[in-house]
Chains A and B, each alone.
Chain A
């Protein structure tokens, strides 16, 4: 971990703190209501607000989780630094792609 990765990780963490609280509230709401797919999609379809909120969330978590996993691998695995960097970059890209795809699925459906 160096200063550049540190700044990225702490910034995305601080950014996500309120997003996580809202997300937990959403989880509680959705499960209480026993929402079906139709219910969910009717709320998210075409919603700029949903897309923006979760778009920011996905971008932030892709950066934050990759750096976190990088720390764990460099301290707990025998892998070399170069291999770890390649793996976590791919992991971050995968998270971003899957996350934006999920948002598209719910907003553009």
Chain B
């Protein structure tokens, strides 16, 4: 790369696409762990219960808040892609992308309040 800066990367829509990709990657890494945790029930109720109690810790709850944000932001980012690809072009997407990020943050915040 010769340019010392890449200005196009500051665009709200580029950031939206990047957040969508990174949130997907994070969720893909999280999912096997999620399935393994739920699968603890195979060893009996007590096993799952002890895991649920472990997950009551503040740090774990904070991580869960993060996950709710990632899931919501990935969903909304995905809807952005599906709309662009399947419906007539609309301007004003930058504002919509910013609103989507705000909605995701709100969802995560609501979860935070719920859980603490």
Contacts and interface: CB of A to CB of B under 8 A. Distances in A.
Contacts of B79: 17
Contacts of A17: 75, 78-79, 82
A5 interface: no
Band of interface residues on B: 35 or more
Interface string A25-42: 001100110011110110
B115 interface: yes
A46 to B, nearest CB: 13
B27 interface: yes
B87 interface: no
B41 A109 contact: yes
Contact of A24 (B41, B44, B46, B71): B71
Nearest to A40: B48
A20 B111 CA distance: 15
Interface string A67-104: 01100100000000000000000010011001101101
Q: Is the interface of A mostly helix, strand, loop or mixed?
A: helix
A31 B49 CA distance: 14
Contacts of A20: 71, 75
A24 B69 CA distance: 10
Interface of B: 21, 24-25, 27-28, 31-32, 34-36, 38-42, 44-46, 48-49, 51-52, 64, 68, 71-72, 75, 78-79, 81-82, 85, 107, 110-111, 114-115
